[in-house]
Amino acid sequence: MKLHELTPAPDSNRGAFRVGRGTGSGNGKTSGRGHKGQKSRSGYSRKRGFEGGQMKLSIRLPKRGFNNIFAKPLEIVNLRDLNVFDDDAVVDVNALLEQGVLRKCEYGVKVLANGELTKKLTIKANAFSETARQKIEAAGAKAEVV
């Protein structure tokens, strides 16, 4: 069998049903849309969550919390990710991007304490968790806030 010999299964590809072709077709006049009303009009489309004019559920439910639209989220780096660097290396945002530990960094870096640090590095970041700072100092490395 060759590619040009392939055909779909019988009756699996049915053509579009042509509506509005007279009363004898069974779908003439109103073209299966019924009489009058919003759904019978051309250009009708229902918005997501629309409930016929009733207040939609997403608005009826109470809102909780606060979303700060001015927040500048920091990228997260774990201690175990920093073991790819050589001893006595200076680890900053540019080094993390070059090494492929981070893909992008818009606002800065925060170092978290997941994993263990086995190298003596100088780590420059915007923020450190308290546990990460303790682990870094225990490994003989330096943690500098930029």
What is the spatial distance between Cα 79 and Cα 90, in angstroms, rounded to a whole number?
Answer: 14
> pLDDT of 22-69, one tens digit each?
999 989 999 999 999 989 999 999 899 999 899 999 999 999 999 999
Q: Report the number of distinct structural domains present in the chain.
A: 1
Asked, for residue 48, whether it belongs to a domain, the answer is no
Asked, for residue 107, whether it belongs to a domain, the answer is yes
> pLDDT of 92-129, one tens digit each?
999 999 999 999 999 999 999 999 999 899 999 999 99
Asked, for residue 137, whether it belongs to a domain, the answer is yes
Edge-to-edge strand ranges of the sheet holding 122-125 = 90-91, 122-125, 142-145
CATH code: domain of residue 83: 3.100.10.10
Asked, for residue 60, whether it belongs to a domain, the answer is no
pTM of structure: 0.58
> pLDDT of 72-89, one tens digit each?
999 999 999 999 999 989
CA distances from 73 to 8, 69, 104, 124 (A): 51, 11, 12, 17
CA nearest to 82, candidates 19, 145, 143, 146:
143
Query: Residue ranges of the alpha helices (H) in the chain?
Result: 57-60, 93-99, 130-138
Please enumerate in sequence order all residues whose Cβ is within 8 A of that of 125, keeping only pairs 6 or more positions apart, or say none: 77, 92, 93, 108, 109, 110, 111, 143, 144, 145, 146
Domain that holds residue 86: 75-145
Is the Cα torsion angle 96, 97, 99, 103 positive or negative in sign? positive
